[in-house]
Copies of this chain bind each other. A is one copy, B any other.
Amino acid sequence: MTHSSTIHESLTAVFQVRDVSAGRRPELAVLLWQRALDPQQGTWSLPGGKLRADEDLDTSAARQLAEKVDVRELSHLEQLSVFSAPDRVPGPRRIASAYLGLVPMTADPRLPDDTAWHPLSALPVTSFDHGTVLEHARNRLAAKLSYTNIAFGLAPERFAMSTLREIYCAALGYDVDTTNLQRVLSRRTVITPTGATAAPGRSGGRPAALYRFTDSELRVTDEFAALRPRS
């Protein structure tokens, strides 16, 4: 027995590491829009919407997102799991394909009036199972930081190691040592020195070396490289 009126939708958790309040460290924030109408009027939702008959899910997720944020600001978009519990939303069944989207720290996209960035440390009341989807996306991001180069999607084009450390701390939710981070990422050739240095900061001192991500597409920074055939 299948439900002929089942709707398929995309839901995207878009993350950015942002300066949330002056004098505090940057935090991981997510893009949410507030529902003007029932059901669940006033709660905050992940951007997304119904799959059209003439598009696939990736196209649909990007299209839905474009209504909330200029997609040129998106540095990465990938499919996560499907949320398919029969009762996840009231009314006709909706099956949701979840996506993870990333925006670089330096971007400042224009947002519609109903939409805002919310730090994960102070989330508003979320709609339906969107809180669960969001948590799943955040866990996937944290896991991928450990075995891929996915931080390219959160970092500025060029950055000092102190900035990259702030990004990792915010996205992982725990403290990371700058020296360790530089050592591990350099050894895996995830980051590359640009040869340039940053203008000295307020605190003075030696100008910081600037790095960039070696690749701007997702790759697994393979711990088993030793097993690979020599190419």
A binding-site residues for B, Cβ under 8 Å: 1-8, 50-58, 79, 81-82, 84-86, 93, 95, 97, 143, 145-147, 168, 172, 174-177, 180-181, 183-184, 188, 220-224, 226-229
Contact = CB atoms under 8 A, between A and B. Distances in A.
Given A8-B8, A146-B224, A180-B227, 15 more contacts: A1-B54, A2-B7, A2-B50, A2-B51, A2-B52, A3-B53, A6-B8, A8-B84, A53-B93, A54-B86, A56-B85, A57-B82, A57-B95, A177-B227, A180-B226
Contact of A51 (B53, B56, B84, B229): B84
Contacts of A6: 6, 8
A56 to B, nearest CB: 4
A53 B180 contact: no
A228 B220 CA distance: 19
A150 to B, nearest CB: 12
27 contacts: A1-B52, A1-B53, A1-B54, A2-B8, A2-B50, A2-B52, A6-B6, A6-B8, A8-B95, A54-B86, A55-B86, A56-B86, A57-B95, A58-B84, A143-B220, A146-B222, A147-B147, A147-B220, A147-B222, A147-B224, A174-B228, A176-B227, A177-B227, A180-B226, A180-B227, A184-B224, A184-B226
